[in-house]
Structure formats: structure tokens, C-alpha cells
Structure 1
């Protein structure tokens, strides 16, 4: 495996000894406690690397069928190749926490196609669409991590699906599991007029060198990366394990500001700057250093404490930087300033001029739900209008590249007919939703249709209202925050609520006033929770309409929804 750990000549920094953790409470840190596994997950990961399951899928399971799959492969190692069992239809949300995984799961899989940097060709998109149509009952979802997910996949069909994907340069390798996940990259890399740096080469270097290698295929938990050279900071870097944000250093020129330790789920924590400047040619080495710290020092004893954010919370950014420099880079990184606050929203929706005079168009499906038919139709449309490139985004959008000026309006008209809006309402533009109970074994409530119905209702009810800016609405089916509820203007965490008659109905706990740099927020922050503030799925549109009208009536000059939501009385938020 390539290494970034060769000592640099002249490096003289002295390492400060770190106190040893008491042996009575080991955290499973390999460099502190040793590598003996402290739970079942760590045992089976050491017994057989997750990458090795591919051979069994191809030679045994695809030939003998679902019932032949060994348990730890099915519920563990399959994830290393982008495969999760999906939820069996008809099991209500009240059973999510009470049934065993085998009772919740169907004999079909969700398959996640890994799309690093969101970069696709029309040929690749067509293959994904055809796979969806032929093997996935025409299902497809855009995720908020630039991937595309398919459903209803049979294990018997997986080898053929891999063959087709890999023939066009796509993969599912490490799309899930305790591994380095997809590398988020700016959807306008290399084409934006105002781009500072094109991160494409760095993203390609990281994925070529480090994805699918055994040395990084057993991390404590997932490891998420974000990298952008665009001033809108369009990759939600604050909630990734490691993030690189372009800036111009006053002495050293263009490079990246280094962030570590972000993550949401049930214990949300925004990442922190290490105060270090990373030159473009050092990014892959620094990335490897941060990933290796996570591998070697990450907490493995308890799964719910095994993300990098918990290590950073204990160490702090100063110690983290020192360990990175002393033990993994063997040289000091230059100090650097923070990147400037973005002045534009980073979802790239609408029509924008490229640096070559052509245009890119950001389009919005309803809450990331697409289909194989839509994807193949989009590939055809793009080629008919002279383009062969597109990008997925961290906001469940698609950016279409290289459109000549004369083709912009005809393409937008054709896209509308396909169900992709380049000029969406502000609510359609800013609403995202996770997969929900339709397919996910962890979900408690339905999300995609609930969010779509709410958007359609709000478009009608608020049609004459002039919103000063988009108000983001994020709908999640469980507490795990795949839809980033704590960083939305209005974030909704799925749960079952009392119907007042002894029964339960789908609903949501409400988070208000969150936001990230990439959605136009002056300063990233987590949403506010109000005790007892919950809304049923049926009343969602009513609640959002009431809240928006109250905001518009009470806001001070130029006050954003997030600022208002944090200062408003609890009664105003009900």
C-alpha cells in the first residue's frame, strides 16, 4: 500500500507523550489497547476482511440463492460491496425496534452505486438506468452523498450488475461498511467560472490509491470525506469525518483548509478546523493520515461511540493535528486562515455559465426519487442536446454540464416533461428526504411520498408569497439523520405519535434553525429542538405553512429563518 509516512528531511518536531488510557476501560484503540476484538462486529471483521465476500457472492451465493448466504456475510460483509437487505413490505414502523434483522428484511437488496465526486457520463447513467429497469423494478434514488441507490436487487443478479457497472468505470466497492465511503466533491469541479481549485485529480488519486485496499478496509465505523474547490463550499464539509475546503492563503497561494470530526446521527457534532493549510499536492497524504488515525486510535469497543467525532471530542483539534503531523505525516503543516464565508447557495440549481462559455444546469427531482426510466431518458436528452457529462450533488440534485446557449431553453422544457425542474419552487428546491420505511429496515415512518405531498401542498398554498430565500425542509424516517435533519431550517425526525385514541400515527419530532455553509447559512449550526414540538405526517404541510407565515410576519429586516427560529418564543414555533 502506498504510504505517506516517510519522514521529511529536517523535521525536528518533538512528540509530546500521551497518557495511556486506564486498562480497566479500554476503548478498543489499536495503538493503545491492542487489536484484540471487544465486540462481535470487531471479531468477524478480523476473521475475514469484508472485501473477501465478493468471491463468495460470485461463486456461491449468486448460484445457490439468498438462503445460502452465511449470516455475518449477509448482515456485515455484504456492505463492503454496497449491499444491504431491504425492508420486507408490510411491516409497520412500530416493529422496527422490536424485531430481529432477519424478521425485518426481505430477500432483496438495496445496491448503492459509488459515484466519487458525483462525476458521471451519459453512458454510465444509461447503464445505471438500464440496470434499474432490468433488475431493480425501475427504482432509483439520488442520495445526499452523490450516490445512486437501486432496490429489489436479487443476489443472483449481482455478478452481472457488477460486470455492467465496471465495464463503464463504475463500482460499488466500499459504498457501505466500516470503510472510506464515497468522496464528496464539488459538482461543478473544473467548469465553474468562480472555482478556486479543481479537486478532480485529488479525488481520483484518493480513490485509486485507497479504495478497496485491505489496509483501510477495517475502520471502527464509516469514514466520510468531502472536498471542494468552489467558494460556495458545496459539499457539506462540516458534517464529514474529513473535509478539504479551498481558499487562497495570503503567502502560500491556493490550497485547502482542513476540517475533521463532523457527523450527525443521534449524537450530532460539527467538524472542526485544525488551523492547517494543505497544499493541493499534499491532500492525498493528509487524507491517508486522518484515515489512519481513525483506524489506529478510533474507538472500537462500542459501535455508538466508534465515529471519528468522538475521538476528536476527547482529543481536541490541537492534539489531533499534532498526532497527524508527528506520527503520520512526519512534518508540520503550515498554519492557515479559514475559508471565506460563502455568498451563494451551493446546490447549483438553475442555469449558470461555465468557464468555457457554455452552461451548466442544476435540476431538481422530487426529494431525490427518480427511476431507471428517468435516468435513461435523461441520458438520451442530454446527448440529443449536445452533452455527455453530468454530476450528482450532496443535495439530491443533478447538474448537467456542457450545454450550449442555444440548447439551454429547449433542454429545460424537455427536462420539465421528464420530471426534472431547473426552475423549481423554493420548497421543491430545498426539500430532501431519506429512503424511509418503504425500503429501510431502520425507518419508522414513510418519507419520500410524505415530503412530496407536503411540497406540492406548499407550492399551492404559498404560491403568492415572496420568500427571501429557500427554507430547507429535511425529512428523515428515523433518528439516524441520513437526511441531515439537524442542519436544516426545518428538520423532521420520524417517530410514531399518539393519535389520542390509544393508537399511533406516523409523525416527526421537529428541529428548527440548522444550517451549513453550503446552504447559504452565514455560520454552520445545529437546529433547535423545542420540548414537545411534534407534528403528524398528515399535518406536515399545515405546520410548515403556519410556521413560514409566522416567520414572514415576525422577521426583522434581512433576518434569516434560522436566526428567527433560534430567537423566537417557543409558542411561535408550535
Structure 2
């Protein structure tokens, strides 16, 4: 199926990537020949997305704004099969990680990516990383404008930007086009929220200084309303201020969130606005024809309104309880009547969250071709999304996903756990994340129980860098090391849903690895006994406070 509604690379894009692949091929040759030391090679490999982890090299592949064609997903499956162990791990930045790449194979893997207009550029290093977006972009009912248009504009501006290639620290940008924030924009270095003002103009709220990790902070509004054509000039001004004043003497205080926290958002705004005033009418001001040219490439697929109530779907709901639950949790309304957005859960009971085998990736690609306009999205929640499915096709899609093991009716539920790779792979981790997620998932596997519990987001990180976003989990779990023993710190009350971003609060002392499931069970029991009608776990926690949960947990463990 042709890629008719995503950005298509031009000759410049392709020549740039091809040149980068050949440069890296020579750098790898020199490293293998001993002409480069690991210290000399490290910055070269990192700029191509190649990390050295605990057991092997890891390749992080960029999936800009989380959008994939079926052709690209098949190529990812092929690369996983040829150069890795036959599977990949989808991350909270909408990327794909291959955890067992051999150094000598890395250039060939990058060359294979280039065949389908993909790369691993800017997935590492102190520069502007892969820009993320709402995974329902271009399909959501509540969307004001497709944020991927602006993600692509930022991608083109930021790629190999000479002024921002050596920032004080990595820099992450996320964009949402909806009032219901599905991109977690307030916990990014810069978050952009499209909204419509009283004059009916669409522009950006610019949010700066958010982030998780060692010092979690919620971003602050830098500019309430920014006209769209001024986006690049304003981002350039913001990055210049950060590049000028960001700390380079202390790794732990180098992010822009620390700058905003230490000098105050008012001072940062003053500096950014002064820089912006000097450049806003220059080359970075976006011409309407430039915006329109990019926007045309994200034109919605030619969907026609269809039946919204389909007898076959209604009949299967009555016959198959799991299908009925799947409709509730794994489908969302589409902007075109008679269609739905389907989330394929990469969290079957007991499986490592976010993992997909080559066979499963190919299966998703086949489903996308037949039922979703050849398009797939990666969510920051580590699931895959089929954005354009006709309601009449939902039974067939469900059955196809079930054959792949991706039809678990648990999206947004207690087993839809976000987890980083943890100590099983990552050289920075203090503790394991994946086995903890698997044990919790198995304990709560029964679907009726999950749906009775309702929306509950568990997020697990294996170290303070918070790649599992534990700070914003309804239940956040952080692995810590104490004298060589893996312990787990629990926090409650975090949230990023619907723009109500809140950081969780630590409940009490860390618990042993073999007590984590008991602790979570105690938290859930407290919630079920005290909730009011319609309350999510996090709502009940906000109403009754931490003490009832604390008493139950530490009485149980």
C-alpha cells in the first residue's frame, strides 16, 4: 500500500542519510581495526544511535512522531531477524530498540533502515532528540490540528543543526494537538500544545522546563499563545538561551529544567523573548506555502462515513466477553463516523512490556495494510496503534490481533504497565524492571478483575533516570540498590492524563523485590474498599490521602 498520508523523504533527505551510513561504516571499520579507541569511538557511535549496554550493543531507531508505514514496520522486523535476536523493544519515546546488535552489523542495519527512509540519527547525544507526538494524531475526535505537521517541521530544522549539536544535555520536545494531552507535554524540556484562542486562531502554548529523572519537575508556560508561523524562531531563541546559560559543570544540573528552576521562568522568558525579537522576522519565519507543503503530506486518508452500529459487532459483543471488554479498553472514537482507533496491546499477561517479535511486527503490518490504510503508530505507553479501522472490521482485527497475542483487553488497565529495560539490559540501572512488571501482570491477569479495578497506570523504572516514567504513574515503582540488594520504592498520585500533570509522592520505605506484588495488591484493595462511583485509583488517592494506603501496604509487607 503506498504511503499517501505521511511525510515522504525527498532526494536531500535520502542523500543525507546515505552519507551518514557510509561515514559510520568507515568509523566502525576503523574501530574494529583498532585505529580508534572506545573513547574516541563512543561519540561517533552515539550520534548514530548505538549504545554499549550491559551485555551487547543496543541500536535505538528513530520513529519520528511515532508514525510508521506497514513497509517500514516490515523492514524493522527484517532487521530484528537478520541482525538481532528476532525481536525489538518499543520505548516511551516512540522509538524501537534492538538490544543485541553486533558492532560489525550496525552499518548494514542502518543501510537497511535507509531503504525505507528511516535512521537512528538524534536518538542519543546532547542534542534535540526524536520529537514525539500524540499517537492518535490525525484520527482523534478531539484534535484541533494534526501535530505531526509541526513535528516534521521541527525534525527538518533540528537535524544536524550546527548550533545545537553539542547542547549542555539532551533536549526532548513533544507536541499535542488535542486538549486531552496524550503526549505528556508538561514533562518535556519543551512541550507544545496547539489550541484555539478567542479570535479563532490556532497557535501554540509553549511549555518549558519539564522532565523526570533525578529531579522531576512539571514544565511552566513560557508563552501562552505563539502564532504557528513563529514556531521555529521561538524554538531557536529558546535553545540559544539554554545553550548559553545551561550548566555544563554538573551533569545532574545540566537540563533546561534546572535552568528554569534556578533562575525562574520569568528570567528565562525575558531572555528568550529578547532573542526572539531579534530573529522572528528573519529566515526562520515560516511562510504559509512551506507549512502547506508539509501539511499536504499529512492529508487524512480518504475515509468515507460508515455505519456506526454494526449488527455483527453487536452480536459478537454478546457472544464473546473478552471482545466486549476489548472494545471498551482498546478502541477509541475516530473523527470519521463509522471508524475507530485500535490499540494493539504489547502487554499480554506475563510478557515483557513493549516487546514485539519479528513475526508479530509483520503480523501488525499485514493487519494495517488490510484494515488501517497501511499505517501504524507507536505510543509512548509502549503499545502499537492502528489509527483508521472501520467499525465493521473490528471483529476481524480483534481475531487477527488475538492470533498475534496482542488482543489483551487491558489498555489503560493495571497490566498495561510501562517499564524500562532495567538491569536485564541497561548499564545505568540499579534494579530489574521487566520481571517486576511480569509478576504484577500475571497476578492481575484476569480481565474482569482488571476492568472492575478500572483505569490504573503502573509505571516502573530501574533507576533514577526514570525511563519508565514512574514519577507520573498512578502507582510508580522505582528500583533502587541498597548494599547490593534490589529494593523498590513506591510512589502514588502521579498522572499525565488529560493535561492534569502531577508528580507522585513517595509512600514510604522501599520494599523487597518479592514483596512488590503484595504491596500493589494492598494498594488496589484499599482503593476498591474506599472508592466512590466513577473514581479512578488516582482520584480516590487524591480524596483520601496516602495514610490508608500506607497503613495497608506496610501492614501487608
TM-score, L = length of structure 2: 0.80
CA distance in 1, matches of 2:23, 2:279: 43
The answer for the alignment partner of 1:285 in structure 2 is 233
The 3 A distance-change label for structure 1 pair 394 and 189 is same
Label 1:466 to 1:59 Cα distance change in 2 as closer, same or farther (>3 A).
Answer: closer
State whether residues 192 and 355 of structure 1, in contact with CA within 8 Å, keep that contact through their aligned partners in structure 2: no
* CA deviations over 1:229-266 (Å, ceiling 9, x no partner): 02211111111000111222112522221100011111
- Which residue of structure 2 lines up, in the alignment, with residue 398 of structure 1? 384
2:463 to 468, 474, 478: 478
- Tell me by how many angstroms 1:220 deviates: 0.5
Offset of residue 291 of structure 1: 2.0
Is 1:202 the equivalent of 2:150?
yes
- Contact 1:362 1:422 (8 Å CA) reproduced: no
Counterpart position of 1:71: 38
- Which residue number in structure 1 is paired with residue 424 of structure 2? 438
**232-241 or 243-252: bigger deviation:** 243-252
Looking at structure 1, the residues matched to 339 and 408 of structure 2 have their Cα atoms a distance apart, in angstroms, of: 16
Task: Note closer, same or farther for the CA distance 1:53–1:425 as it changes in structure 2 (3 Å cut).
Answer: closer
1:127 maps to 2:68: no
CA distance in 2, matches of 1:315, 1:402: 46
SS of 2:222's partner is: strand
2:275 paired residue number: 327
Deviation at 1:350, TM superposition (A): 1.9
SS of residue matched to 1:264 = coil
Q: Deviations over 1:356-399 (max 9, x none)?
A: 75332112102212222221221123224463111111111211
CA displacement 1:480-505 (0-9 Å, x = unmatched): 1111111111111112468xxxxx65
Partner of 2:92, secondary structure, is coil
Query: Are the counterparts in 2 of residues 191 and 356 from structure 1 also a CA contact under 8 Å?
Result: no
1:261·1:272 contact (CA, 8 Å) conserved in 2?
A: yes
**Matching of residues 482-493 of structure 1 within 5 Å:** 482-493=467-478
Aligned position for 1:15: none
Give the Cα–Cα distance (whole angstroms) in 1 for the partners of residues 237 and 330 of structure 2. Answer: 35
How many pairs were matched up?
A: 482
1:535 and 2:511 equivalent?
A: yes
Alignment match of 2:133 (pick from 178, 185, 198): 185
Correspondence for 1:274: 222
Alignment partner, residue 36 of structure 1? none
Q: Residues 115 and 170 of structure 1 are in contact (CA less than 8 Å); yes or no, is this contact kept in structure 2?
A: yes
User: Which of 241, 244, 248 matches 2:196?
Assistant: 248
Superposed CA offset, 1:533-556 (max 9, x none): x22232222221111111221235
Preserved contact between residue 21 and residue 110 of structure 2 (Cα < 8 Å)? no
SS at match of 2:129: strand
- The answer to whether the aligner puts 1:59 opposite 2:59 as a matched pair is no
Secondary structure, aligned partner of 1:129: helix
Q: Structure 2 CA distance, aligned partners of 1:181 and 1:189?
A: 19
> Displacement of 1:125 after TM fit?
0.6
Distance 2:152 2:337 in 1: 23
- Give the Cα separation in 1 of the matches to 2:106 and 2:401: 31
Q: List alignment gaps of at least 5 residues for structure 2.
A: 1-18, 282-327, 348-352
Q: Kindly indicate whether the alpha-carbon contact (under 8 Å) linking 1:325 and 1:331 is maintained by their aligned counterparts in 2.
A: no
TM-score (norm. length: structure 1): 0.78
Alpha-carbon spacing, 1:232–1:115, altered in 2? closer, same or farther (3 Å):
same
Distance in 2 (alpha carbons) for counterparts of 1:485 and 1:231 = 23
Contact 1:224 1:241 in 2 (8 A): yes
Structure 1 Cα separation of the partners of residues 412 and 33 of structure 2: 44
Aligned partner (choices 443, 446, 471) of residue 457 of structure 1: 443
The residue number in structure 2 matching 1:146 is: 94
CA contact (8 A) 1:495 1:509 kept: yes
1:272-307 CA deviation, whole Å, 9 max, x = no partner? 112420122222222222222222221111111100
Following superposition, the deviation at residue 449 of structure 1 comes to: 3.0
Quote how far apart the aligned CAs of 1:322 are.
Answer: 1.8
Aligned match of 1:102: none
Check whether the contact 1:444–1:495 (CA below 8 A) recurs between aligned residues. yes
Q: Deviations over 1:12-48 (max 9, x none)?
A: xxxxxxxxxxxxxxxxxxxxxxxxxxxxxxxxxxxxx
Give the number of the structure whose residues are more often helix, by fraction. Answer: 2
Give the 3 Å change call, closer, same or farther, for CA 181–426 of structure 1 in structure 2.
closer
RMSD over aligned Cα, in angstroms?
Answer: 2.7
C-alpha separation in 2, matches of 1:170 and 1:297: 34
